[in-house]
Amino acid sequence: MRPPRGVRPLAALLVVLALAAGCASLPESGPVRREAATGDDEVPSAPYFNPPGPAEDGSPAAIASGFLVAMQANPLSTKVAREFLTDRAARTWRPNRGTLVYEAFTVTPSGSQATVRLADVRRLDARGGWRGDAPGRAQELRLDLEYEEGQWRVENPPDALVVPASFFDRTFERRTLFFYDPTGRVLLPDPVFIPRGGQLATNLVRGLLTGPGPALAQVATSAFPRGTGLDLSVVVTESGVAEVPLSRELLRASPGDLERAADQLAWTLRQVPGVARVRMVVGGTAVPLPRGVVDVPVSSGQALDAAGDTPSVLFGLRDGRVVAFDGGAAEPVGGPLGRTGFETRSLAVSTTTGRVAAVSADGGTVFEAPLEQGGADEGVRQAVTGTDLLRPSYDLFGGLWVVDRTPAGARVRLVQDGAVRELQVRGVTGRTVAAAAVSHDGTRLAVALGGRDVARVRVVDVLRTDEGQVTGTGTSRSLTVAGDAAQAVDVGWRDPATLAVLSRTGAETSRVDYVSADGSPVGSGLVEPSVFRDDATELVVSPQADVPLRLVTADQRLFTLVAGGTWPRTASELGAATYSP
């Protein structure tokens, strides 16, 4: 399967990000043990490369170029690269503090200096996390060289691994760390890029103990006590138990936090082939957990899934009534909005709270009612009124998020327990907005901006107390949709870390692109959609991986994305549709 559109030039960059992470160990010498991959994890390995050391009497330009080439050793090693440095620099160089990935470089010498110009640079932090630089960015490295024992050597190397995208395409992979939302109800995914091979488990745990990256810093936390570190490496026994040797700081954790920490490890290490169970060890002794066990299966904590732990159900609007799909059949829901008498244009459903919200045909009112009969309140109530209300969305706490397009720009409203609040959202309030969707876990709001030649979205942190009450909004990140996507039409969460963006590319053509919420290139595990040759007006998307993505057209037809990227029609006479988490 080809990587999603716009990702191919960045695929290597993802790998690069991994190297930058402090969680990614870069050996200085010796062979690197590789872990056999199976099934979908099998990736052609990069060719063996033992780079040459510095040439005798090499010029400053030759030494600078050789230093860059030496960082491409495979298996990964910085041993040869350090030979291009002065003795002092070789001792103090810390390439694990970051990664710079580039498409090409040039070296311009000037006396005892060499200026290295890197083209199309991407950066990763010490965890292997994406740092969000804009595409096409160039960067200069000014290397000072000193004459040491009759040879030129680099005195001020950057504290980063500096590698070409082609090298990292085969050497690194996109993996995920998991951290708790403020309430501890779900685990949020935090993508990182780390080296392939036998140190996968160790690198993942190191990254986990570092804590969430910038994209999750305001909305995520860890169960591990501050200062907890990894002693030596993770060992996987023949029976599939990953023994994680941790520092004594772990023993400060409460019994509840120990159990939560074990679930964090289970979710993170389930990505490692051959790992079936996880055990925390301090000082050579297994740490007992509250349930009277010393290890947990990697399947532990299924209820912590940020995509929801109940199956998604497809709902729609047909002849003004809310209908639910069971297989291929659609039947009106049992609640008030499943009856005739309402003219509506969009909807949101929360099976968690048993509520449904629908926007009136004129866009002036959001109605809310029980999904089925038998609720404490059988009536339909006006939840929000406004000027031009966009499709609403629910979070797992029952909060109903609505954006109103007014003459003065967008206004963001939150309905919680019957009360309506207006939130000031940087980069969204007062802007022209096409669509919005809160993540099911309630930690972020995605907004598709309208009125632009290039599709752009914003991802805004939603700040909450440990009881789930919204206190405001935080960091607002701007993301550009890759490729030739034009006017944004709709946005939704394809998984808890990835957005799907519907754009109109022509009078009768539309397309769907995937965008990582942290701005990094997305992985290749999603079905790549082909161009949709019709006027799609609505995106129907669930964060659950096994639920297909769908589109609704202006003439009320429903199309479903299938393997191979095609869009067969699967329903008609459907004015709008949505999934319930």
CB 130 within 8 A of CB 124: yes
Residues 6+ apart with CB under 8 A from 273: 35, 36, 37, 38, 41
Pick the CATH number of 313-580 from 2.50.20.10, 2.120.10.30, 3.10.580.10, 3.40.50.300: 2.120.10.30
pTM above 0.85, yes or no: yes
Q: Which of 337, 322, 473, 488 is nearest to 401 (CA)?
A: 473
- What residue spans define the domains of the chain? 8-171, 174-304, 313-580
Residue matched to tokens 């745990």: 205
**Residue 7, pLDDT score:** 34
Instruction: For 11-39, write each residue's pLDDT tens digit.
Output: 333 333 333 333 444 554 433 332 333 33
DSSP type of residue 128 = S
Task: Name the packing angle between helices 255-269 and 200-210 (round to 10°).
Answer: 140
- Find all residues with CB under 8 Å of 546, minimum gap 6, and list them: none
Residue type, 2: R
Question: What is the predicted pLDDT for the residue at 549?
Answer: 96
pLDDT value at residue 93: 97
Name the β-bridge partners of 345: none
Which residue intervals of 222-332 are DSSP H helices? Answer: 255-269
> How far is residue 277's CA from residue 299's CA, in Å, rounded to a whole number?
8
Residues 51 and 82 sit within 8 Å (Cβ to Cβ): no
Cα–Cα distance for residue pair 7/4, rounded to 1 Å: 6
Amino acid identity at 190: D
- Whole-number Cα distances in Å, 503 to 32, 362, 476: 45, 24, 21
Tokens of 452: 């632009």
Predicted confidence at residue 1, as pLDDT, reads: 32
Q: Please report the pLDDT score of residue 26 as a whole number.
A: 53
The pLDDT tens digits of the residues spanning 523-568 come to: 777 888 999 999 999 999 999 999 999 999 999 999 999 999 999 9
C-alpha torsion sign, points 451, 455, 461, 467: positive
Q: 415 — alpha (psi -120 to 50), left (phi > 0) or beta? A: beta
453 near 486, Cβ under 8 Å? yes
Degrees, nearest 5: CA angle 456-390-5: 30
What is the model's pLDDT at position 133?
62
CB distance 489 to 435 below 8 Å: yes
- CA gap 29, 507 in Å, rounded: 58
One-letter amino acid of 516: S
- pLDDT (0 to 100) of residue 411: 98
Q: Which residues of the chain have pLDDT under 50?
A: 1-25, 28-43, 376
Token readout for 106 is: 């040039």
Radius of gyration, alpha carbons of the chain: 26
CB 380 within 8 A of CB 337: yes
Specify the pLDDT at position 377: 52
Are the C-beta atoms of 182 and 223 separated by less than 8 Å? no
Please state, in angstroms and rounded to a whole number, the distance separating the CA atoms of residues 413 and 405: 11
